[in-house]
Amino acid sequence: MPTNPLVALDRDHLIHPVVNYRAHEQRGVTILESGHGAYLRDTQGTELLDAFSGLWCVNVGYGQQSVVQAAAEQMAKLPYATGYFHYGSEPAIRLAARLVELAPASLRHVYFTLGGSDANDSAIRFITHYYNSTGRPQKKHFISIERGYHGSSSQSAGLTALAVFHQNFDLPLPSQHKIPSPYPYRNPAGSDADAIIRASVAALRAKVQELGRDNVAAFFCEPIQGSGGVIVPPKGWLKAMGDACRELDILFVVDEVITGFGRTGPMFACEAEGAEPDLMMLAKGLTAGYAPMGAVLMSDRVYQGIADGVAPGVPVGHGYTYSAHPVSAAIGLEVLRLYTEGGLLANGIAQAPLFEQGLRDLLEHPLVGDARSRGLLGALELVADKSTKARFDPALKLHERIADAAYRNQVIFRAFGDNVLGFAPALCYTQADFELLFARLKKTLDEVLDQPDVYR
């Protein structure tokens, strides 16, 4: 088959995110060409079942024509409107109001960004400004969680706790601190829910005490850690962390970039937990990946603290050309309609037991040590020895072999370096899609198991 000339153009000119560039030059790009529902097609004509919603974002599935139409109409009418100089656009205003309607009651104001990293950066800047203007400028330290992911821009990458995002960047900053992950499968406190929650609360209290509560601004967390390995804390954990933040007089900041928009069942994971954050970051499912957009939602208390600016007549120096982009906002409004009136949230809730059961059934597979999920966010953790939970030798590069075998079996999910397989199927998945997913997944695991050096 003649080689697609795009492969050479890609190798010569396009730098990909979080990919080993040399390895990529040798391997070559797989070009995705079209998508429909839960399925993608590449330029070789291979149809792939997407079990990761792109990068945990295409929650409504591909090819939703009403979203395409909403974008086209807004582009034709007004493709761009700045938010500077007191200008604005109708879709952005309506989207902010709709998000406030749907979000936890504590959140009343919305700042739009281009994605999740800059939403986290924006939150850090607003919080710092909030404490400055409310007379406590020394509250500048931020606590997040090991294995957490909050982005790869210069400040958010320091809140992120994955080593490759720090190496050579002098991160984390001296003002950025971590507490242990509430990782049920590998928690030194054991697997009991109450013990895990108590350990996390104690760790947060100890860290705040160590830094001095007058110096700590906020605690950032994901309700379920995504890129750190789909770590699902016990129910009640999020609320307990929020309560601890209030008691410690620090802001409680929840990153729902992955968990928002029906990914774990309800519109936001905070809802199921009765958690009331002071700030919340959104992206991904906000526009379902049809255009870039993120958001920071904040409480009235935080907003009132920053509303007067840095000084009389001097605004907070923080903004983007594409903040509150009207085309992204029009897409966001239609995507929200699909989640609610369009029935996608309800479908996600209805299908979740099939997903959970399918993952749990795979616990019988010799490679699978743990299966975990909430809603349509889940993972399998592969181990070399189930009794000791020992990990595979990294030299085996098992995750790469699994990703290759999965592609041959026409299914896409995320194979992390420590052999956690992450899944985030779109909310439009049907029973037939799940049956196909688990058949292809089992075949993939069986093939990898058969490789002579993997399992002895």
* Count of chain residues binding ligand PLP (CB under 6 A): 15
Q: What angle do CA 73, 76, 79 make, to 5 degrees?
A: 100
Which residue, 232 or 368, has its beta carbon nearer to ligand PLP? 232
Smallest distance from ligand PLP to CB 256, Å: 8
CB nearer to ligand PLP: pick between 104 and 115: 115
Sites for ligand PLP among residues 290-349 (CB under 6 A): 294
| Residue 111 phi, psi (nearest 5) | -120, 125
Distance of CA 346 to CAs 54, 61, 131, 152, 226, Å? 21, 15, 40, 33, 22
The binder of ligand PLP chosen from 52, 112, 149, 183 (CB under 6 A): 149
Q: Is 126 in the site for ligand PLP (CB under 6 A)?
A: no
Positions 341 through 400 that interact with ligand PLP (CB under 6 A):
none
Smallest distance, ligand PLP to C-beta of residue 255, A = 5
Question: Shortest gap between Cβ of 10 and ligand PLP (angstroms)?
Answer: 21
* Residues between 213 and 272 that touch ligand PLP (CB under 6 A): 222, 226-227, 255, 257-258
Assigned token pair, 400: 């790469």
Nearest approach in angstroms of CB 318 to ligand PLP is 16
In the list 59, 74, 89, 117, the residue contacting ligand PLP (rule: CB under 6 A) is 117
Residue nearest ligand PLP (C-beta atom): 116
Q: Which stretch binds ligand PLP (CB under 6 A): 39-47, 97-105, 113-121, 394-402?
A: 113-121
- The 8-class DSSP code of residue 163 comes to G
Single out the residue of 151, 158, 228, 422 in contact with ligand PLP (rule: CB under 6 A): 151
Do residues 27 and 20 touch, judged by C-beta distance below 8 A? no
Do residues 38 and 425 make contact, with C-beta atoms less than 8 angstroms apart?
Answer: yes
User: CB of residue 73 vs ligand PLP: minimum separation in angstroms?
Assistant: 25
CB 358 within 8 A of CB 434: yes
Residue nearer to ligand PLP on the CB measure, 143 or 258? 258
Residue at 409: amino acid letter: N
Written as six digits, the tokens of 307 are: 């509303």
Nearer to ligand PLP, 115 or 358 (CB): 115
Copy the structure tokens of residue 83: 């938010």
Distance CA 328, CA 270 (A): 24
DSSP output for 172-240: S-TTEEEE----GGG-TT-S-HHHHHHHHHHHHHHHHHHH-TTTEEEEEE-SSBSTTT-B-PPTTHHHH
Residue nearer to ligand PLP on the CB measure, 17 or 312: 17
The Cα 34–Cα 413 span in angstroms is 17
Stretch that binds ligand PLP, among 111-119, 316-324, 358-366, 416-424 (CB under 6 A): 111-119
- Dist CA 108 CA 39 (whole Å): 37
Alpha carbon distance 236, 272 (integer Å): 9
CB of 115 to ligand PLP, least distance (A): 3
Q: Of these, 129, 150, 263, 372, which contacts ligand PLP (CB under 6 A)?
A: 150
- In the complex with ligand PLP, the residue whose CB is nearer, 117 or 419, is 117
Place of tokens 């709709």: 98
Q: How far is CA 352 from the centre of its chain?
A: 18
Find the shortest distance in angstroms from Cβ 57 to ligand PLP: 8
Backbone angles phi and psi of 320, in degrees to 5: -125, 145
SS3 64: coil
The stretches of 106-217 forming alpha helices (DSSP H) are: 116-133, 156-159, 193-211
Interacting residues with ligand PLP (CB under 6 A): 115-117, 120, 149-151, 222, 226-227, 255, 257-258, 283, 294
